[in-house]
């Protein structure tokens, strides 16, 4: 491979999976690489080494989020709108908005939910266990995070698939299956905002124990959230709360299927499940990149970076960096230590990490105990994206639970 072969803007290269061969090459040949941009864009720096990703992520004063966190620039008139999302905020504004909702995601709060989320996971597996086959993404992986985030936000369970549809159209904007026009992503956001505002009106006078009520009565600098602030919060929590967990559960199950020795190792010793979940996160890296913008002339690994340059950190590469993860291209359910960056790092560390870890663990407890021989039953269809490492469809088959119980009985 040569540097001329590197094209991380070619989304078709991601349809078969993350192009780890490209990242492995860059970590050695050009760990801070100046990547050209199609359509006459200014280009961006690709950061692929673990320590450099940490450096960029932990220095918001030098590498800011407020100019956007996607590779490509938005139109100037849209910049103020995206800056209302916490993802695109820097301290101190980011810290103030984060404090509004962080209480609801603390470990002691999340741990109280374990019995209820376990029952949700059990019911989801109940629905497929006797069938012998299903689409793993829509019938299993998508259902638990959808149900959980719907409950967190106060969305009726009957409406949870609206969140699923909006998320696909917002996150899958580069996949023709989800976006039918250039404006469809904007339309999905508007539909979600309209729905959120209706919920907000209901909670204003009749608050409940959900995050919408917290947001409606919360304050930043002594002022209640504006409608735009509220809409942005709702969109971020709804999309991030189901999209990444769904793709981790799907990608984690695929990793086990593609590594049968590790699958059997985990089935034989379920005490490995916590480390297996962390390894799934490292291996899958559901969010593939975030962009920052240099606020001043600086350098990363000796490479000079000018003020205004775009700097893009790639988590799948950092999570297989040879200097940090010995034998990083091997899936190891017992890997320790495992200081992966799948949840991000610094002030943008995933707000819902504790909730996601609980959901993933409980779902795999059910899957491993009740569908131990699960295998692929057809081709896997991946999202056409260099931002989200997503699976759209994954047909699987397994011995129906009733038949297995009959044999064992």
Helix 160-171, helix 227-258: angle, nearest 10: 80
Exposure on the CB side of residue 316, measured as CA atoms within 13 A: 25
**pLDDT at residue 378 above 80?**
yes
Tell me which residue of 246, 249, 236, 251 sits closest to 351, measured CA to CA. 236
Q: For position 88, what pLDDT does the model report?
A: 86
Tell me which residue of 385, 389, 335, 333 sits closest to 174, measured CA to CA. 385
**N-terminal to C-terminal alpha carbon distance within the chain:** 56
**pLDDT at residue 406 above 70?**
no
Binned at pLDDT 50, 70 and 90, residue 230 comes out as confident
Q: For position 390, what pLDDT does the model report?
A: 93
Q: For position 377, what pLDDT does the model report?
A: 98
Q: Whose structure tokens read 């260099």?
A: 386
Helix 260-268, helix 273-284: angle, nearest 10: 150
Name all contacts of 302-308 with Cβ < 8 Å and 24+ positions apart.
303/32, 303/45, 305/32, 305/45
Whole-number average pLDDT of the chain: 89
Q: What is the pTM of this model?
A: 0.91
Exposure on the CB side of residue 329, measured as CA atoms within 13 A: 7
Q: What is the pLDDT of residues 258-274, one digit of tens each?
A: 999 999 999 999 999 99
Q: Residue 37 burial (CB < 10 Å; 0-12/13-18/19+)?
A: middle
Q: What is the pLDDT of residues 97-137, one digit of tens each?
A: 888 778 778 888 888 889 999 999 999 999 999 999 999 99
Q: For position 206, what pLDDT does the model report?
A: 83
Per the DSSP assignment, residues forming a β-bridge with 299 are: 304
Q: What mean pLDDT is predicted for residues 9-13?
A: 94
Calpha distance 13→49 (Å, rounded): 21
Residue positions counted in the chain: 409
Q: What is the pLDDT of residues 169-215, one digit of tens each?
A: 776 656 666 655 557 777 888 888 898 888 888 888 888 777 777 77
**pLDDT at residue 156 above 60?**
yes
CB burial string 279-314: b at 16+ within 10 A, e below: bbbbbbbbbbbbbbbbbeebebeeeebeeebbbbbb
* Contact yes or no for 148/120 (Cβ under 8 A): yes
DSSP letter at 82?
Answer: H
Q: For position 52, what pLDDT does the model report?
A: 98
Angle at 284 (CA atoms; ends 182, 334), nearest 5 degrees: 170
Angle at 384 (CA atoms; ends 255, 305), nearest 5 degrees: 95
Measured torsion, CA atoms of residues 27, 324, 382, 348, in degrees rounded to the nearest 10:
-100
**What would the two tokens of residue 98 be?**
């984060």
Tell me which residue of 78, 258, 83 sits closest to 183, measured CA to CA. 78
Per the DSSP assignment, residues forming a β-bridge with 289 are: 314
Find all residues with CB under 8 Å of 182, minimum gap 6, and list them: none
**Strand order, beta sheet including 44-47:** 32-35, 44-47, 310-314, 289-294, 63-64
Q: Is 22 helix (H, G, I), strand (E, B) or coil?
A: helix
Calpha distance 199→214 (Å, rounded): 12
């Amino acid at each position: 491979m040569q540097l001329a072969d590197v094209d991380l803007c070619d989304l078709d290269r991601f349809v078969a999976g993350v192009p780890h061969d490209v990242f492995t090459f860059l970590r050695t040949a050009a760990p801070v690489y100046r990547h050209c941009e199609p359509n006459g864009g200014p280009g961006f720096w690709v950061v692929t080494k673990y320590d450099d990703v940490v450096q960029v992520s932990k220095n918001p004063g030098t590498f800011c989020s407020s100019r956007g966190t996607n590779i490509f620039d938005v139109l100037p008139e849209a910049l103020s709108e995206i800056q209302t999302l916490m993802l695109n905020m820097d301290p101190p504004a980011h810290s103030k908005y984060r404090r509004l909702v962080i209480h609801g995601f603390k470990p002691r709060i999340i741990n109280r939910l374990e019995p209820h989320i376990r029952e949700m996971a059990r019911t989801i597996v109940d629905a497929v266990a006797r069938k012998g086959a299903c689409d793993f993404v829509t019938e299993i992986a998508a259902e638990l995070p959808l149900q959980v985030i719907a409950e967190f936000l106060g969305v009726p369970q009957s409406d949870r698939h609206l969140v699923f549809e909006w998320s696909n159209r917002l996150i899958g904007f580069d996949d023709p299956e989800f976006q039918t026009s250039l404006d469809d992503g904007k339309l999905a956001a508007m539909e979600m905002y309209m729905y959120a505002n209706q919920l907000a009106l209901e909670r204003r006078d009749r608050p409940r124990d959900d995050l919408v009520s917290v947001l409606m009565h919360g304050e930043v600098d002594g002022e209640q959230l504006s409608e735009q602030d509220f809409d942005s919060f709702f969109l971020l929590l709804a999309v991030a709360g189901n999209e990444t967990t769904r793709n981790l559960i799907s990608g984690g199950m695929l990793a086990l299927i593609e590594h049968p020795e590790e699958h059997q190792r985990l089935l034989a010793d379920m005490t490995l499940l916590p480390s297996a979940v962390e390894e799934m996160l490292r291996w899958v890296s559901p969010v593939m990149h975030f962009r920052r913008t240099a606020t001043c002339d600086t350098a990363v690994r000796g490479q000079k970076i000018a003020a205004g340059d775009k700097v893009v950190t790639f988590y799948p590469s950092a999570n297989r960096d040879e200097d940090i993860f010995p034998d990083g291209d091997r899936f190891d359910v017992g890997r320790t230590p495992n200081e992966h960056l799948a949840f991000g790092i610094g002030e943008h560390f995933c707000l819902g990490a504790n909730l996601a870890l609980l959901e993933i663990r409980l779902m795999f407890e059910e899957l491993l105990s009740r569908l131990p021989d699960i295998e692929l039953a057809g081709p896997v269809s991946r999202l056409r994206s260099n931002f989200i490492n997503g699976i759209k469809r994954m047909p699987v088959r397994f011995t129906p639970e009733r038949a297995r119980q009959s044999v064992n009985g």
